[in-house]
Structure 1
Amino acid sequence: MGVVNSTVAIAGTSVLHVGLRVGPLTSNAIATLLATTLSFAGNRWWTFRHRRRSNLVQEYALFFVLNGAGLLIQLLAIAFAVRVLDRDDPVSYHVALLVGVAVASLVRFLSYKKWVFLPRERPVRAGARRPG
């Protein structure tokens, strides 16, 4: 799912920024919000389908908060290239975008696994002591 959603975010950002001349940060924010919506469905019902389901609203809210952190990582990478290095040409922009998406994707995946899509509780064997 990560590849599909990263492709949506990267392609959407490219179309908006390079094709339609939307600002560098705004274009990434819009495309990432679209990819986030697709990502939740894909992660909940495909990547982490074997994990227990908690409250869907709680999962969804936490998922979007963690995606906000991922978006911030992407925006920082783009802002560094555009604002600090003064590089807004398509190649520099896309390199910054790809670096931001790669780092953010790793952070998101690990965060989903730890805090959003929790593992199923392991059954306690007969005669085994419960922890705690």
Structure 2
Amino acid sequence: MTVVRKNTEVVETRGMPAAAVPSASPDAGEASPSTHDLSKSPRSLRSRIFGQLVSFGFVGALAFVVDVTIYNLVRATVLQDSPIWSKVVSVAVATAVAWLGNRYLTFRRERSPQAFREGVLFAVVNVIGLFIAAGCLFISHYLLGFTSQLADNISGNGVGLVLGTTFRFAAYRWLVFSPRSRTLRLTHSTHRSVRTDSGANS
């Protein structure tokens, strides 16, 4: 006769006392999602980040095209005398496209169910990235005295763009769409499921 109680298997044989031996967990050998995420090899992690960089570049290029297209469309129609507001509208639409692209493509496995919080963080990161590019232009033009159009393009659209883009990707990867928060959610869900199953079997 064999009786199984949670994690202990009681074996009873004729003429011998019952012996309690640990039983294998029904999920033995199957790594939980959180364990799998934490145990990735460096090579796999580098491959994952490279794929995200490629997707990030694609989404950024798409957002740039949307920005330019919307700006010229609005500037030529409803806001003919307002180039600044035309740019505000085009940047707002391009930022929304970038957020959706990164949320559902680049970082689709890490995205948070709290879309509003994620969207706010995304907007804040983009504002900081804009300040980085503007700061490079300010330092070059006003502090270092490089006032030519070529120098402004190198500092603002060259150095500033590279630094701002690098900051945005790092912030997206480790703050806005954080793998750590995803792992914590999976771990919490796994523990809650284990407690529910244990309560049902007791």
Q: What is aligned with 2:144? A: 85
Q: What is aligned with 1:99? A: 159
* Compared CA separation, residues 35 and 78, structure 1 to 2 (3 A): farther
Q: What is aligned with 1:5? A: 60
Q: Is the 8 A contact 2:129 2:168 kept in 1?
A: yes
| One-letter code aligned to 2:99 | F
The Cα shift of 1:50 comes to: 1.6
Per-residue Cα deviation, 1:56-97 (whole angstroms, up to 9, x for no partner): 111000111111111111110011122223334232111112
Tell whether 2:102 aligns with 1:37: no
| One-letter code aligned to 1:111 | A
Q: What is aligned with 2:173? A: 113
Q: What is aligned with 1:71? A: 130
* Compared CA separation, residues 76 and 117, structure 1 to 2 (3 A): same
Q: Decide which structure has the larger Cα Rg and report it.
A: 2
The CA RMSD over aligned residues, in Å, is 3.3
Separation in 1 of the partners of 2:136 and 2:113?
33
The Cα shift of 1:49 comes to: 1.0
Under a length normalisation based on structure 2, what TM-score does the superposition of the two structures give? Answer: 0.45
Q: Provide the aligned length of Structure 1 versus Structure 2.
A: 112
Separation in 2 of the partners of 1:78 and 1:33?
22
Question: Structure 1: where are the runs of 5+ without partners?
Answer: 16-25, 128-132
Under a length normalisation based on structure 1, what TM-score does the superposition of the two structures give? Answer: 0.65
Separation in 2 of the partners of 1:73 and 1:104?
6
Choose between structure 1 and 2 for higher RCO, CA contacts under 8 A separated by at least 6 residues. Answer: 1
Displacement over 4 Å in runs of 4+: 29-35, 122-125
Separation in 1 of the partners of 2:92 and 2:57?
14
